[in-house]
Structure 1
Amino acid sequence: MTCGDFLLFLSVIALTACSDPPLRYRAVSGEVFMMPCEEWFRVGSHRHSAAKEDFAPFKAETADSGNYTCYIRRVWRDFLLQVDNKTMECSSPEENRETLEIGVEGTITCPGHDCSSGTPTVWYKGNKSVNELKKRGISVIEGRLRLHTVNKHDNAVFFCDRVLSEQGVNWTMRRSVTVKALISLVKKPPRILSPRDHTEEVELGTDYTLRCETYFPQADPPGDVRWFMKSSGHLVNLTMEKLEVDELEREIRAIGKATLKKVTDQDLNRKYTCIAQNTSGNKRATILLKKKNIAHWSSLVEYALGPLLLVTCLTIVLRVKWLEIQIILKSRWTFGKTDIGHKDFDVLLSYVWRTSSTEQISPPVRHRKDDSAFPFKLDPLAVEVPSKRPELLLPHVLEDQWGYRLCLMERDYLPGGAYTEEVADAIQRSQMLICLLSPEYLSDNNAVFVLESAVQALLQNSGIKLQLIWTNTAPCPLLHLEPPLPVVVQKALKVLPALKWTSAANAKFWRNLRKAMPHQRVSSLPKSF
């Protein structure tokens, strides 16, 4: 006994020292019994029964006789339980079960009621007194419990208590009645769903199971389901497997099975009869067996066709998805394997200016390294930018705050040159391409050309890394763009790593972007992020 149990036991002894006389209950061995307590434990036991499951009904045995401590009506009381080996005289086991019909009136009689000397009977449904259930129509008449309307919740165990006096000592005799509420009590013969008097094909040399699916009314449960074989004018009883029984809402389904071992020619053309019966009658169904014609070449075709279809499907999937698979593999594992230490730029930033009639913004220029102003301060000639647009913020963060060597086409390449050659040169000189995607970007031929060239370079093992940033809340639809995007760009937009930029990029965005950047000895993330 633990210290806690010992203290609890002492407190119980103190509380019960001057309490009422002990409760005395008698039960019948083999019957369902339930302690009339909210909490209890057996005197001398080290296990304290405090869990709800311990208060469920249980089958009483003589070994359960003994002294208990019971917590009832907010008071601890001594409790004496005596379990008898046999029932009272003129009481039968049938009185412990009752079947009622749902929707009509029903009466439950306490076992041994006719033997009692007219003492009052108190009824309980589970651990609740029927006095608490009067609203639903329950009354006690001459010791019998009357349910005005039986419902499905009456599938329960009811207890009846009577006071008996022996040698001046009062005992409460508790008996139980297990009630089963059925939808209908009408008794009728079973019905057989299958088989339905027909012929079934079997393969010679294999086992075949005869299956008889039968339905019985709940009021008249299954008596027997058996299979018979008619041979030389006589019915031969077949060896049955264990009957499978399931209780449904209105009926009981029973499935009887008998297995024929290694079917031979002698088993063919014989009649096999299933007979299902109960106390109301019986039903039967008969089937014949015939040889099943098997085309042996079909199995060879099936074995060959299965792998062929699998290979064909895999080939089609690979052909459709091969470009996407290549882009995924290249973007994940190619970057970092080539010699990129001597490239001129860390990042090539590609974007399209989005200006309105009320906002005129200058392109970003390189800041002085000793600039101590706000980390995202723009060029003095530019207006202040309360919206913190990505095409303005990213150059300053990447270049001035994180110290990356940034390549901007409009700044680092002189106007008037061959644009295609300048794009190819910028991609070859950069470790990474960052694209600020927007509907304007995907509608701009020059911007799409930069992304397409970078993807082609990636597929050719250039070692460049691609990172997409969507500047609206969700990727714009690709099917309605004019002009339509190249196929390689459409595939890349589906599988390349992408981040989402909101109106106010949070710390999570900047952390994810920092993780995606090329490795370089740079200062830590500014506290403003």
Structure 2
Amino acid sequence: MSELLDSFSRETSYQYQVFAEENVFFRCPIVSSPNEKVQWFLHKSDGSFEKTSTGKDLQISEYRSLLWFSPAKGRHSGVYMCQVNNVFSKLLIHVQSKEDCVQYGPNLLYFTTDTSWSISCPSLGCKLWTTTSDVTWYKSENFSTVIKPSRPSLSIINNVIQLNYTYIQDAGNYTCDFDVSINSSKWTVRATTEVLVDVPERQQPPEILGPSNGTELKVELGKPFNLTCRLRFWYQRFFNPVIKWIIQYPASDHEVTYSGGQELCPDTKNYNGTECFYTITLNEVTENDLQAKFYCYAQSSIGNVTSLVVLSMKEIDIVFRTYILCASVLLLIIMLLGSGMVYFYRIEIVLLYRNFVTKDETIADGKDFDAFISYASMSAEFNMETFESYSDEYDDVKFATQMLPGVLEKKYNYKLCIRDRDILPGGAYVEDIATFMKRSRRAIVILSEKYITGPHVFELQAAITCSLEEQESLRVILIKLKPFKETECLPSIVKKALKALPMVVWKEDLVSKSSHAMKFWNKIRYYMPVKRLQKNDKL
């Protein structure tokens, strides 16, 4: 505090005169950089000093190295000290009533960028002093010079700043100083003018970017639908838009209004215009909505604009529907063809699956043969008169003793029990047949007229009986080698078996290798027990 008193007594004062109710600021004269730390003190009437930063006067504030008065009051007159490190400087500030200056100029100016403007020092027209010095102009709180090479269109003529073309960057605080002599003492009169620069307002009402007037929008009944109005408001200094959706229902003379404002506009400071979006949602489109009229309404201080929107039922796209129909039909055809192929080749598919996936059913099941072959034997007598009957009998025997083992045994690795080959003669015939059937997994019965009317039909009856006794361990496969007629003397169990048991029909001659014959053998294998093929065997 003693240093302040010493400096106060010996420091030369800078004397300023300002006018009340004006915003002015002062820079500490001994500051060389805006970032230097400055402390400001007020010399009180009792001789003490008070820091302005701890004072209760809300109109006095510190900003960097500046002392602000916002605004200056008569009570602010006095002596102020600023301190930078251990160096002090003294300012004498006198606040004069503005009533003493009837011709005080404006302290707030509003310019637009479309024309030229001028800035005059507000206090220069007071005429309170006989002589004044030229005006010195500063811009902003940094007290930077106004005249710059980068601003060739700005000049100072007769103490007035001339802006031949105005830019947005020209906005800011302009401080003017000029010296006067009061009681043979030099005083600096200071005033500040705030300049606001904006682009010129466009004298046009808002514009609806979409939907355009008379637009018909396609909707679906019962589904939600969003209605969005997109607008552009031209730049206005005081932006206060009014945006509405107005819905009129003609049937009931009912009107619904949804309103919005500036919150619908993301960028309100766009000089090229501000886009706004207002969306309303119909939770469920109804018949009343199809009859209603929807108005998008926008209003600014210049004018208003309206756009009409109506709703209509959405028609299904014919081309799209045709594509869907064709695709559905094609898919159905593919499914039918696939199903047909699977049905036609179902046996081959099962056989293929068995060969690679299913385990061998013939392992450790206690059976010696895969199938017992039952057929009509040849008669012992032969003459030319009975040649045709003999030929038929020969076909039965050839099929049973040559074709079946030639295919099932040699090609597919099955083991067959053929009566004339594997059962030794001389034993009890009926008991031997039953024993060998029980030792077999299948019983293949070759049906013909000779078989049905001959004595070997009892083998079919025995196979059926064994199948029932063995509880499906023996299954009967019927092969219709030649057409036959059921006789009345057939046992009832045989008649039922001919209708219920699977029957495979042979349609070829005994030397045929056609595709039909291949289908026949596949069917026989289908009913045979699952048995893995040898490595060299083929399906």
Report TM bin, short chain.
Answer: 0.3 to 0.5
Give the alignment's TM-score, normalised by structure 1. 0.39
Whichever of the two has the greater Rg, that structure is 2
TM-score by structure 2 length?
Answer: 0.39
